[in-house]
Amino acid sequence: MSTKIELIKTGIEGLDAILGGGFPLGWVIVVAGGPGSGKTTLATEFVVQGCLKGEPGILVTMNEPRNHVLTTMKNFGWDLLFLEREELLTILDYSATNVLYSIHKQGMKDGGPSLNFMIDQLQDKIDSTGAIRLMIDPLNAFSFLFHDKFSMRRELHKLFGMLAGRKTVSLTTLELGSSDAPFTVEEFLAYGVVRIYNKKIGRHRERSIEVIKLRGLNQERSTYPFEIGANGCRVYESTETFDF
């Protein structure tokens, strides 16, 4: 007897329609794209939309310092500091060099490079806050810790397994040299993959979004216009883009 997949609505305009209803609970989704595509904004809005409905969330920032995240996201009307005070949002700032060094140092104590330090901290924070939505931005920040793809794959398996076991919906961003770059280890391991494109058309750039995979779900198999405006993200699900 099959178990029905529980979907969590993203709250992002137009996105749920092309996903087939939302993101599945317990899944890790990679949101990949080139520079300026909007992956961080989309993943952050996903967490914020949950907080606004009373669902606790966690933002893990690996590149941008906490203060920069607070300032940037306020441009969309998202007061992350207020959500923190209401105990709906937790921001974990792993952007500092000393934090990444701690991850590396603990890994070496465990016999080799690992993400155990971060996995333990994240697990404790998810359990203590009851977080349902989570973002890690970006996964690429881990790459310098590992000398070979096998080690990285092993540690990502551990991280993804912990997140799935905690019944979160986790969006992990992935920086690509270009939006149409070859598929990565992170994307192969994830349960779902969304790519955002930022193509130059004439003198302008146009964004579009594509759901590459959502295992076992009947999502739309097309590329759709994607826009970032004053209030956040929007997917135009009724209009397909062509020649992207």
Instruction: Write the DSSP assignment of 172-208 as a string of letters.
Output: EEEE-SSTTPPP-HHHHHSSEEEEEEEEEETTEEEEE
Q: How many domains does the chain have?
A: 1
Q: Is residue 243 part of a domain?
A: no
Q: Is residue 18 part of a domain?
A: yes
Q: Is residue 154 part of a domain?
A: yes
Q: Is residue 105 part of a domain?
A: yes
List the chain pLDDT tens, one digit each, 244 residues. 346 789 999 999 999 999 989 999 999 999 999 988 999 999 999 999 999 999 999 999 998 999 999 999 999 999 999 999 999 999 999 887 666 667 667 666 766 778 888 899 999 999 999 999 999 999 988 877 777 888 888 889 999 999 999 989 999 999 998 767 878 888 988 999 999 999 878 888 899 999 998 876 666 678 999 999 999 999 998 765 544 4
Q: Is residue 28 part of a domain?
A: yes
Q: Is residue 217 part of a domain?
A: yes
Q: What is the CATH number of the domain that holds 121?
A: 3.40.50.300
**CB count, 10 Å around CB of 155?**
21
Q: Which domain holds residue 65?
A: 7-235
Query: What tokens does 172 get?
Result: 């992990």
Q: Is residue 159 part of a domain?
A: yes
Q: Is residue 240 part of a domain?
A: no
